[in-house]
């Protein structure tokens, strides 16, 4: 390869890097504005530039956004609602992932009459708009006696998430050779023995996908949270909406920005830590199925 060609390739590579950096800066600009605004006083926000760095750092807006002063059933601050979301998201993610793994295992490796019809019905549930299920779900929660509670929210998110987790695991498990299943059956292994001894140890990539997907969907949900929660069981997204829309007098933009970052921090952290595994897990089941 000539020096001219090498120079051309180098320039092309650096040009591509420059374009990617510009796109990254463009998409990160809102986060930068949120972070800098949350560290400014109201006086500096009114007199300074939106893109300027804080002249004097203050963490008072963060303390106010996180504080949990309560009067009766009304609370100011995100802390109690943040932990409501944790108590809701962790069990819902775990249950929907386990059920989805078992469903995907059955549909991929244990064929039975009507399997395709059942799988199509589960997939259909993935495309039903949230608004359609609000009324029947509310009636069901009332009949079960868990309306307006955290267990009720867990139940809703598990039911709505099973379709997605089943799809993820089914598409991943069809890539596992059926010869392994036949050999295990010959050795006398049953349904659960095959699942726990063969399939589950190979499932880390797709478990990562399911956990990240479900956690993001559940944590960021607002519609189910505002529809099915009570005064003491509201998730952090509902509390954030209340904080932003309940300000009287001078608008506390610094508190609003701090509250938004606190509410978004868990999902941001999950993608920063495990984002590459999410992509790998999605592509791992794309060969077959």
pLDDT score at 72: 45
Residue with token string 């897990």:
281
Classify domain 72-284 at the CATH class level: mainly alpha
Beta strands in the chain (DSSP E): 69-71, 74-76
Instruction: Name the phi and psi angles at 251, rounded to 5.
Output: -70, 125
E-strand stretches of 8-81:
69-71, 74-76
Whole-angstrom distance, CA of residue 159 vs CA of residue 147? 15
DSSP characters for 11-53?
Answer: HHHHHHHHHHHHHHHHHHHHHHHHHHHHTS-HHHHHHS-TTSP
Q: For the chain, what are the domain ranges?
A: 3-58, 72-284
Q: Please report the pLDDT score of residue 68 as a whole number.
A: 58
Per-residue pLDDT of the chain (289 residues; tens, 9 = 90+): 566 665 777 788 888 899 999 999 998 898 899 999 999 988 888 887 777 888 888 899 999 899 855 544 455 689 999 999 999 999 999 999 999 999 999 998 887 888 888 888 888 888 888 888 899 999 999 999 999 999 999 999 999 999 999 999 998 998 888 888 888 888 888 888 989 988 998 898 899 999 999 999 999 999 999 999 988 889 999 999 888 887 565 678 888 999 999 999 999 888 888 777 777 776 665 544 4
d(CA 168, CA 211): 11
Structure tokens of 60? 């008072």
pLDDT at position 184 is: 86
What is the pTM (predicted TM-score) of this model? 0.85
Give the CA distances from residue 59 to residues 37, 48, 63, 149, in Å, rounded to whole numbers and listed in that order. Answer: 11, 18, 6, 33
What was the pLDDT predicted at 289? 43
SS3 191: helix
pLDDT (0 to 100) of residue 114: 82
What confidence score (pLDDT) does residue 249 get?
59
């Amino acid at each position: 390869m000539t020096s001219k060609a090498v120079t051309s390739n180098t320039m092309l590579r650096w040009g591509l890097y420059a374009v990617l950096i510009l796109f990254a800066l463009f998409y990160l600009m809102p986060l930068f504005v949120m972070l800098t605004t949350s560290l400014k006083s109201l006086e500096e926000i009114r007199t300074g530039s939106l893109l300027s760095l804080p002249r004097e750092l203050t963490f008072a807006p963060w303390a106010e956004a996180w504080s949990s002063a309560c009067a009766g059933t009304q609370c100011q601050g995100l802390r109690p609602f943040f932990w409501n979301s944790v108590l809701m998201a962790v069990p819902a993610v775990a249950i929907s992932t386990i059920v989805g793994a078992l469903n995907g295992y059955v549909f991929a490796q244990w064929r039975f009459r009507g399997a395709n019809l059942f799988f199509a019905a589960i997939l259909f549930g993935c495309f039903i708009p949230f608004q359609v299920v609000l009324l029947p779900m509310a009636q069901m929660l009332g009949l079960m006696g868990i309306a307006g509670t955290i267990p009720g929210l867990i139940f809703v998110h598990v039911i709505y998430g099973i379709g997605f987790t089943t799809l993820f695991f089914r598409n991943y498990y069809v890539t596992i050779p059926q010869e392994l299943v036949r050999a295990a059956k010959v050795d006398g292994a049953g349904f659960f023995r095959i699942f726990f001894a063969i399939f589950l140890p190979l499932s880390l990539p797709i478990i990562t996908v399911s956990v990240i997907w479900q956690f993001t969907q559940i944590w960021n949900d607002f519609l189910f949270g505002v529809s099915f929660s009570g005064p003491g069981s509201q998730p952090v997204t509902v509390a954030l909406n209340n904080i932003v829309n309940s300000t009287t007098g001078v608008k506390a933009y610094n508190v609003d920005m701090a509250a938004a970052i606190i509410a978004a921090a868990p999902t941001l952290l999950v993608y920063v830590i495990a984002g590459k595994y999410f992509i790998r897990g999605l592509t791992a089941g794309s060969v077959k199925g």
